[in-house]
Structures are given as C-alpha cells and as structure tokens.
Amino acid sequence: MVKGLPSIDQVDKLCDGCLVGKQHRTSFPKKSEFIANKPLELVHSDLCGPITPTTCGDDLILTGENRNVINKFKLEMQQKFDMTDLGLLSFYLGIEVKQTATSISVCQTGYAKKILEKMGVGECNPCKLPMEPRTKLSKVVEGETLVDTTLYRSIIGSLRYLVNTRPDITFSVGVLSRFMEKPTTTHMAQ
C-alpha cells in the first residue's frame, strides 16, 4: 500500500486518449499531448485520465513474469513514496487469489455464498446448469406478482460481478438482466 498520496484534483488535464479510450469502438489516438519522458512519470487510467504517481490511488497490484523487474519497480516506488509491500495478492475486491509456484487461480466462493444468503437460499443444493434449458421468460403477465425491484437489481448486479470468475453463468445472468424494469416472482425464481 502506498501512503500519503494526494488526491486527484486536475480533472481539466485529461488527454483525448483517456477521454475516448473506453467509449465503444473508439481506440486511443496515436499521439497525445501527455507524453512520459522517464519511467513512473505518467500513468493512463480508465477512471481519471493521465496521472503521475504523485496523484494516483493508494493500492497497486504488480504482475509480471520477471521477478527482477518487479523488485526494481518496487525499489523505485519505495524511494519516491512511503510504501508498504503487502506480499502476494490473496484477496482483492471480492476475488480470492490462490498462488502456487506454477499457477494462479481466482475464485469468488465467499462472494457467491453472500449472494445466496442475500437471496435467502444459503443452504441450497448445487446444480450443473444455472438455468433450465429452453426456459422462456417474458415481461409482466397479467396477475403475476411483482418483486422488489431494488432487491432484484442488486442481485443481478452481484451476479454480473460474479461472472468475472464464473463465465458459465453469463448467459443466464444476461437473460435475467432483461427484466430489471419490472421483475416478477417468475424472474426471481429462475
């Protein structure tokens, strides 16, 4: 964790690349008015545009194949900032990370259990398919009971985040996402 970094206060200094880089089918421009002259001078960010390490956030995750390069970077950062090395990553934003000498695996077991508890089915049995094959869902049918829209949206949002480590549920979550305006008991049951 890097401590003592000032907050970002230069919103007016966004380069065109950062402004349009996340827009649909728009690539970063080939040239930018913000160009780094030395290492650690400039970092492009999806959230706030180009920033120098003196204005960036307080958590860094370093990845790479070459341990020497990583160690050199950490030394350079420690010379510029009050920094603590927390060691190997084990948990980040609800994602559990398990690292061995030959592999890195990620899962969201704890997060998935919290979603099940939130839905009131914490002790449910596992199943092989996240949705029955050929399930047909439709918008509100007369006489069908509506469910709490806020709760339904919250659950769908949680499931969308779970898709990061569970791509097998992507289709089912996508189907259920279509009914966030007026979810019914049928949608909640799926």
pLDDT level of residue 27 (50, 70, 90 thresholds): low
Locate the domains of the chain by residue range: 1-87, 109-189
- Tell me, what's the pLDDT at 160? 92
Count CB neighbours of 46 within 10 A.
8
Q: Which residue's structure tokens are 């927390």? A: 86
User: Can you give the pLDDT at residue 28?
Assistant: 52
Q: What is the pLDDT of residue 56?
A: 47
What pLDDT is attached to residue 50? Answer: 47
pLDDT at 169 over 60: yes
- Judged by phi (left if over 0) then psi (alpha if -120 to 50, else beta), residue 89 lies in beta
Tell me how crowded residue 22 is: count the other CB atoms within 10 A of its CB: 10
Q: How far is CA 97 from CA 66, 111, 156, in A?
A: 19, 13, 24
Compute the distance between CA of residue 183 and CA of residue 16 in angstroms, rounded to an integer: 40
According to the model, what pLDDT value does residue 9 have? 53
How would you classify residue 25: left for phi > 0, otherwise alpha for psi between -120 and 50, otherwise beta? left
Residue 75 has pLDDT above 70, yes or no: yes
- Confidence at residue 46, expressed as pLDDT on a 0 to 100 scale: 46
The predicted structure's pLDDT at residue 39 = 58
